[in-house]
Chains A and B, each alone.
Chain A
Amino acid sequence: MKRILSVVLLAMAGLLSASAADVLIKGTVIAAEDGEPLIGATVVVTAKELKRAGSSRINVSTMTDIDGHFSLSVPEGVREIESRYVGYGNATVALAAGQGDVVIKMTSAATELSEVVVTGYQKIEKRKLTASIQTVSVDDNMLGSAMNIDQALAGQVSGLASTATSGAPGASPKIRIRGTASLNGTQDPLWVLDGIPLEGTEIPSMEELKDIDNIYSTAVAGINPADIESITVLKDAAATAIYGARAANGVIVITTKSGKAGKTKVNFSTRLTVSPRQGIGRLNLLNSSEKVDLELALLGSDFTYRSGKGEVARIISAAGQTGAFIAGGWAALTSDTQQRIDALRAINTDWNDILFRDTFNQEYNLSLSGGNEKATYYTSLGYQDERGNVVGVEANRFNMTAKTTYRLSRKLKVGASLFANRRVNKSNMTDADGFTNPVYYSRRANPYMTPYSADGSYNYDTDIQGRGDSDLKFNIFEERNGTDYELETKSVAAIFDGEFRFNEQLKAITQVGLQLDDTNKAQVADAETYTMRKDIERTTLSILDGKSFLPDGGKKLASSSTSSQITWKLQGEYSAKFANMHEVEAMVGTEIRKTWYKSISANGYGYDRKTLQTKPVIFPNETWAKLYPLYNESYVENAFASFFATGSYTLKQRYTLGGSVRFDGSDMFGVAKKYRFLPLYSVSGLWRLSDEPWLEESEWLNNLALRASYGIQGNIDKNTSSYVMGDYQNVTILPGNTEEMISVSTPPNSKLRWEKTKTFTAGVDLGVLNNAINLSVDFYTRKGSDLIATQMLALESGFASMLVNWASLRNTGVEISIGTRNIHTKDFMWMTNFNFAYNNNKVLREQIPENQTTPGREGYPVGAIFALKQAGIDDEGYPLFYNKQGEKVTATELLKLNAAGASTLTAAEQRDLYSYIGSSEPLFSGGFNNTFTYRNWELAVNFIFNLKMFVRCQPSYSLANFDRGMNTNRDILDRWTPENPGGSFPRLINSTDRPAEYIQYAEFGLYEMSDAWVKRCDYVRLQNLRLAYTLPSELTKKAHLEKVTVGVEGRNLIVFGSNYKNYLDPETMGNQFAQPIPKSVSLNVSVGF
């Protein structure tokens, strides 16, 4: 106590003595670019300088006023002062004796991102940053040949995991920040464009993504990466709390480029990318001869599933020799039949080769930027055309961006930005059976089939689906030519912002954002297609004398949807400094947002593409009319209102305490008004050790800071209510009487509580040896409690599932990012950036429903994979399993199957049979980026890695339902048969020998649960390799150019992974039908005028 008192007294004495032997310095701080005064800049004498001058004072500083003026009493002997300002590099000015007003020119640090961080709500000086925030500047090197910004983020930010969803052009990856926080609803981060949160950024679920037919385009895909200045990723609660409930999965803030006062800059860049077709040799599919042998073997065996399928069975059956073959084998066939079968062996159609192509993609960008002290502008045009490796699959995008900032007076600044784009995705229409999808088809079509007959007509594949003699004709090329699927999206985002400065302490900022996405989808099928034949077959009725009620011709399904939002933000910011050592910043604000979604779809039949005409459909009765709707419409409207505040207090420029709070309200229907607003808050602190006097003189230490934060976030399901709710629909139960009915889709849920996430983060930032090594380490725990998840209900409830407060779980993780300047000579520089994330996810408590037959995850990661330990196969070729006593038992014994193939064990006993194998989420992930610069040359080598993760794969073939009409991989050749008792895979089983086990394998999916199909998946990918050359400036100046860069980049060239046999890439392991992740080489030219 006494000691504190004496410190205070000393400090006061210091203040009092300020005028003793001081010199009064007056001056102005201005921006170097436009000479505008900078309001609220801090002018200081650094501690080091004070010490050198022999002053006993700790802190000498002041702030500039509304005209940028300042006056500061500095102790005698001080030779320099420093000016600091958000968004500008620190400027140091030497003081000369007897000089008049000092003019300090500060240069914008827009390129020097280290000084300021943009959170979307505020710009925060990095020295006061208490939260976990990482910024990546966007340039050609970072973007590579990525079409969208989200594709380029992989491996760039520690704690951000990016998984490619498919190789289709324009497909967005799945992005997770610091693991999975919630299981309900979206796990995607919130995307923010220049302060306005974007709508329509959700990625469809993995299930829907397994094929390329499901064309989609997110709002992020509409942004031209060339317009982006930087990406800021907000990771912890201290950073995201200000964004409210939507930010529970992290926030990605996009800051776009803007003009700077000065000479007009013109930049033109182009990128031409070649991506070769990729072989599917890794899939180990059967060749014609192997497939013929397999079909022969199956026809002679007791495996009867779809026994008429496959060309071999058809040839033998057409010759009437099926019985003879089963009795006497190959020798019993006539030589003519033998020859016809052998002829199949000679055909080896490479479906992958004829369905896929090499692609050539192009991208062009042109931008103009510049301005003067009154206004600055940035304008750009971009065009991108990308073709998928699948013929007919393509995407293109045209962008136009215009941003202008006006400085109307010293107090008022307004800006307007307009981002417009039109993007088109094209594909072919596919049938619900999926066979018409070229990726699927190329892996399943028989190699002995040919698409065209000798006279050029289509050969039809009859192994499509079902059994018996299908008269439906299918040819993949006919389908591709006869169907179209086009998605056209037109987007406009307009942002208007105004900033009014009352004085040096107080300013008001307002921002209005409008986002409009207009999507048109058109699916067309011609008359002569499988798709249309299928429709005709389905609508052919005996009551119409065996005719279809659909008119002759094709069909067109068209839909259009409009999604729009308006967001208005208003906030006041206060920042002040007292007594040269207390800095206070505060911000209060409010935000209201409204979103609308409208969609209309119309279907026409008897469509002809040439005339654009449809024909009327005459339905035989209302039942059929209901099945073939011609028109549909939907409309959704939502409103949100929020209040927020942040504050920070900094003492002596090194101790910062911050906090933020936000109330989020939304239009929850069927919920009491008091639950409408949810409070979210965070507190955080920072200790900048390197600014302590006792460390400041250290020559090797540039920066050392400790950070800590704690925050709470929450979420509730908007559609859950404790009342029985329903949606109005129309129904016709009896002819001529259409009534309104209320459809109840979910049961009421009075037990559902708020889902809460509490996050604690502690971090260290370290910069040493003139910032040659920068290290940032974050430790976090993120505990989610009362998490909401979908729980499967016993169907006797009347519902399949409902939301429950399922569990609590904890993510514990460490994120390390190290940037080093390994070698730095005059001509040569080698920089390394390594980021690494460890995330351990553990379910702390789980409420297991009574009816669940798979184990609970308590004590395990949320992505826990459980499996039944398989113990090889028995002497009849059936899988054996280990029971809990370690004995080898059959499925019947393990599960105590009843005659109908169902387990008579209780749910709890069934849970007990499983063993934990591993987690589906990687334990370690990150990136390793190296940049080498030699004179005008630059070489970048970037790796990304994901380690220690497991995948549950689909078995290579189904034991009970293997369809012999389709191709498969070579695992089936090593199955158990009486002739091959040493086979390593189980036999194909029929329904007669062990009917109970048959039902288990056929209907309950027992074999999929075997640990034999859970695979370890680790990989390191050479994400990109880029070599760039900048033309020497002497040369470019002669051509009146500013900068010319030429780069060559290879993307996704190599992947090193644990065993991924039978799959194309470890990243898409588990899905045989995933599109290959494209390899590409691109040439990039950038010219600045």
Chain B
Amino acid sequence: MKKTSIYKAFLVATAALTLGSCDDFLDIQPTGRVIITTAKEFRQMLTQAYSIVPEDRGLATFRSDEMTMDATLSQEDISSFRDIWTWNDVSPDDATSTFGWRSYYQVIYEANHAIQSRDKITEGSEAEINQIVGESYMLRAYMHFLLVNLYGEPYTALADPYFSKAVPLKLDTDPYTVLSRSSVGAVFDQIIADIDAAEKLINVEEWQVGLNYRFTTTSVDALRSRVYLYMGRWSDALAAAKRVLAKKAALADLNSELPNAYNSVESIVALEEVMTATYARAAKVNRDLFRAYNSNDLRRSKYYKQVTASNIQLLKGGSNQYACTMRTGEIYLNAAEAALEAGNAAEARSYLLPLMESRYKPAYYAERKAAVEAMSTEELREEIYAERRRELAFEGHRWFDLRRTTRPELTKTWGSDTYTLSAGDSRYTVRIPSAAIAANPNLAN
């Protein structure tokens, strides 16, 4: 009898000691880990999405005609960028930087998650939630836009944009689906649809400086004007640009700030650094580009620093101080180009001239103004292109602009070697990374 009671007591003690406190014991909140449910958490997830947007518009600068490379650069920069600079897509050095792929889709995944969770997001006002979902549509549109411009043939160069395959459109969060490439036309259609969806939700007109990497109501039309411009839908591009300028038309005073600074009066979205610290380190400004600025052009000394005749350094990049995805300067140029192509040269001049006025010394501006006013349509088109090249240099526009407009022949020299990208060369479209094809063979077709 005694034995049994001891035995029982032991069992009870054991059970009491452990069972009772077990669930508490196992309730450990892992440090720094969270299930994303509230509006605040979705916002923090989007912050991460914004932070991983690839800086490929900066990397594409190496492919355009904006910079020069030579043997005085560091070994690391040479092996990272030389083969991009020489359009050597067939046999690049092992260490060559690659254009992004997965990062774009990771941003898209997080955007898709927010879009799909719209009705389930807790602890947020409707406006707040709408803003988050609206920004997600904008992010998805912008990522697809960057992808299609890197890896798809230029929309404006295609007889039938629905015939040429570009990149897969990812519109859900299912990790298992293996997609095929959608056509250039289909991707652009989706981009426009996403911008339209964003417009209905997004409600913040301006974020405070520091948070202005986020999309706003103004940015909806700003992106639209660029997308339509790239499609050659001139009147749509013009209409969108006008709506932006109606809200925000300020141009920077170059004596006090650079127009692509994140806190400039021109800033609409200050997301991409474009010329990152690494890119800026390897960037030597092309002498032809430098020569394109007249000595009366304020930008010449604000954008660049000439050390020697051949060594011209870039001042408008190299840190997040110069984060700029969209700014009013671009909108003026979009409007001018769209108006001209839509057949209204006078209206085109009305957008080009204010920009020129703020960039040149007054006496020289007067001279240029007279010249612009006397220009034929053809000359004016060239002038708008030239001004666009000067104004937006090293802001990630040039490569895309070359693609969508004339796709001219480009040549570069390294020592005694000359490299040529012939007019309309297939290398105006970047090859999809091998790693992406290895993970999805459908991309080869």
Contacts and interface: CB of A to CB of B under 8 A. Distances in A.
A260 B281 CA distance: 72
B428 to A, nearest CB: 14
Contacts of B247: none
A646 to B, nearest CB: 15
B51 interface: yes
Interface in B298-350: 313-315, 318-321, 323
Given A570-B17, A666-B26, 19 more contacts: A502-B3, A502-B7, A637-B30, A643-B18, A667-B26, A673-B23, A724-B45, A725-B36, A726-B41, A732-B320, A734-B211, A739-B47, A744-B48, A795-B102, A795-B435, A798-B175, A907-B441, A961-B94, A999-B91
Interface residues of A, number: 105
Contact of A541 (B113, B318, B439, B443): B318
Which of B31, B94, B445 has the most CB atoms of chain A within a 10 A radius of its CB? B94
B178 A850 contact: yes
A635 interface: yes
B440 A641 contact: no
A728 B32 contact: yes
Interface stretch (B69-77, B152-160, B352-360, B361-369): B69-77
Which of A732, A850, A990 has the most CB atoms of chain B within a 10 A radius of its CB? A850
B176 A849 contact: yes
Nearest to A665: B26
Given A723-B36, A903-B441, A731 B318 contact: no
Which of A665, A728, A743, A796 has the most CB atoms of chain B within a 10 A radius of its CB? A796
Interface in A685-721: 721
Contacts of B11: 572, 588
Contacts of A768: none
B62 interface: no
Interface in B84-112: 89-91, 93-95, 101-102, 105-110
Contacts of B93: 466-467
Nearest to B27: A667
A998 B90 contact: yes
B444 A902 contact: yes
Contact of B178 (A467, A590, A726, A849): A849
Interface stretch (B235-243, B270-278, B383-391): B270-278
Contact of A725 (B27, B34, B78): B34
Interface residues of B, number: 96
B3 A902 contact: no
B69 to A, nearest CB: 10
Interface in A828-853: 849-851, 853
B281 A542 contact: yes
Nearest to A733: B213
Nearest to A905: B441
Interface string B13-48: 010011000110111111111111000010011011
Contact of B90 (A471, A907, A995): A995
Contacts of B434: 901-902, 999, 1003-1004
Nearest to A666: B26
A470 B211 CA distance: 42
A506 to B, nearest CB: 6
A466 B45 contact: no
Nearest to A801: B439
Contacts of A466: 75-76, 78-79, 93, 95
Given A466-B76, A902-B444, A740 B44 contact: yes
Given A590-B14, A727-B32, A795 B22 contact: no
Contact of B78 (A467, A643, A726): A467
Contacts of B18: 570, 590, 592, 641, 643
A766 to B, nearest CB: 40
11 contacts: A305-B91, A621-B318, A733-B51, A735-B262, A735-B319, A739-B44, A794-B177, A795-B101, A961-B94, A991-B91, A1004-B438
B25 A641 contact: yes
A742 B45 CA distance: 5
Contact of B277 (A623, A665, A734): A623
Query: 4 closest A-B pairs (Cβ-Cβ)?
Result: A798-B109, A737-B210, A991-B91, A902-B444
A543 interface: yes
Contacts of A990: 91
Which of B178, B213, B323 has the most CB atoms of chain A within a 10 A radius of its CB? B178
Contact of A744 (B50, B71, B110, B273): B110
B74 A540 contact: yes
A961 B79 CA distance: 14
A736 interface: yes
A588 B19 CA distance: 14
Contacts of B441: 851, 853, 902-903, 905-907, 910
Which of B33, B50, B211, B445 has the most CB atoms of chain A within a 10 A radius of its CB? B33
A963 to B, nearest CB: 9
B10 A508 contact: yes
A795 B436 contact: yes
A337 B179 CA distance: 58
B50 A747 contact: no
A847 to B, nearest CB: 10
B45 A726 contact: yes
Interface string A898-920: 10111111110010000000000
B437 interface: yes
Interface in A322-340: none
A731 B212 contact: no
A143 interface: no
B173 A669 contact: no
B6 interface: yes
Contacts of A589: 14
B166 interface: no
B431 interface: yes
Contacts of B7: 502, 506, 572, 574
B248 interface: no
B50 to A, nearest CB: 6
Interface in A491-508: 502-503, 505-506, 508
B277 A851 contact: no
Given A467-B78, A639-B25, A734-B262, A621 B210 contact: no
Contacts of B321: 621, 735
Contact of B31 (A470, A636, A733, A735): A636
A991 B76 contact: no
Interface in A993-1024: 995, 998-999, 1002-1004
Contacts of A23: none
Interface string A103-137: 00000000000000000000000000000000000
Contacts of A541: 277, 280-281, 318
Nearest to B30: A669
Nearest to B276: A623
B440 A795 contact: yes
A541 to B, nearest CB: 5
B279 to A, nearest CB: 11
A820 to B, nearest CB: 47
Nearest to B273: A623
A622 B319 contact: yes
B170 interface: yes
A588 B17 CA distance: 14
A542 B280 contact: yes
Contacts of B168: 796
Contacts of A907: 178, 441-442
A242 interface: no
A898 B439 CA distance: 17
Interface string B385-423: 000000000000000000000000000000000000000
Interface in A14-40: none
A744 B36 contact: yes
Contacts of B101: 795
A332 B440 CA distance: 51
Given A733-B50, A742-B45, A747 B91 contact: no
B320 A623 contact: yes
A466 B96 CA distance: 10
